[in-house]
Amino acid sequence: MNWHAIRAIYLFEMARMRRTLLQSVISPVLSTTLYFVVFGAAIGSRISEVDGVSYGAFLVPGLLMLSLLTQSVSNASFAIYFPKFTGTIFEHLSAPVSAFELTASYVAAAASKSVILGVIILLTARLFVPFGIAHPVWMAAFLVLTAVTFSLLGFLIGIWAENFEKLQLIPLLVITPLTFLGGSFYSIDMLPPFWRTVSLLNPVLYLVSGFRWSFFGSADVGVGLSLGMTLAFLLACAAVVAWMFRTGYRLKP
């Protein structure tokens, strides 16, 4: 294992976070704060509780997961796409660095950025609503696992994308809508039976549900199922990335 190469790429990517602090940290935190103000104050005043939890507190896991998913994908996809765009990706491919080491360094950096952002948002949320964390260890586990999974998805998208428009296509048209419809702002028990069944087809629901369980001890689906779906998605993304490197798909001319 080439730990020196992994460390070098990881530190380079983390340094980019410091250089783009406004875009990487401040902007997502401000956006999430606006969600707390609008949904927590405006809608929260009309909805007293959801599953025995105040609506303001109920929003915390969903909003945190929304930021985590979007930032993980964005960080990882741009990190690998930019070397493709500038042509420096061939230096990575010709260096004595395996596909696993290259993927691990970029994914670890993107996941680290997302986890740091998630902790900041979690602390910011305490300024607006009081809430507790019933299972802090599981909360941290879901936080890291989700960040790694969607960073891997972002890495996959960055390899697949041929231009900046395609780089934003899946996050904007697929991931964000699925997150909004995945129980981030509501419980699926509030939906009619038909739409509740349809919601169970949304993979993001299981991520949000498992994360919310770690906060309040209750969720729309079982925590075991949530964990299983997350791991299955992680393995699927890893398999696709491995295939891309093995075949040189959109990495080599």
Query: What percent of the chain has a predicted confidence (pLDDT) above 70?
Result: 96
In this predicted structure, what is the pLDDT of residue 31? 84
Q: Give residue-wise pLDDT tens across range 68-127.
A: 999 999 999 999 998 888 888 888 778 888 889 999 999 999 999 999 999 999 988 888
3-state secondary structure the chain: CCHHHHHHHHHHHHHHHHHCHHHHHHHHHHHHHHHHHHHHHHHCCCCCEECCEEHHHHHHHHHHHHHHHHHHHHHHHHHHHHHHHHCCHHHHHHCCCCHHHHHHHHHHHHHHHHHHHHHHHHHHHCCCCCCCCCCHHHHHHHHHHHHHHHHHHHHHHHHHCCCHHHHHHHHHHHHHHHHHCCCCCCCHHHCCHHHHHHHCCCHHHHHHHHHHHHHHCCCCCCHHHHHHHHHHHHHHHHHHHHHHHHHCCCCCC
pLDDT at 210: 92
Q: Is the pLDDT of residue 214 over 90?
A: yes
pLDDT tens digit sequence for 12-58: 989 888 887 777 788 888 888 888 777 766 666 666 777 778 888 88
Q: Give the per-residue pLDDT at 236.
A: 95
Q: What is the pTM of this model?
A: 0.90
Specify the pLDDT at position 39.
72
Can you give the pLDDT at residue 76? Answer: 92
pLDDT tens across 124-145, in order?
888 888 888 999 999 999 999 9
Give residue 119's pLDDT: 92
> Given this model, what pLDDT does residue 7 score?
92
pLDDT digits (tens, 9 = 90+) for 151-178: 999 999 999 998 888 888 888 888 888 8
What pLDDT was estimated at residue 220? 87
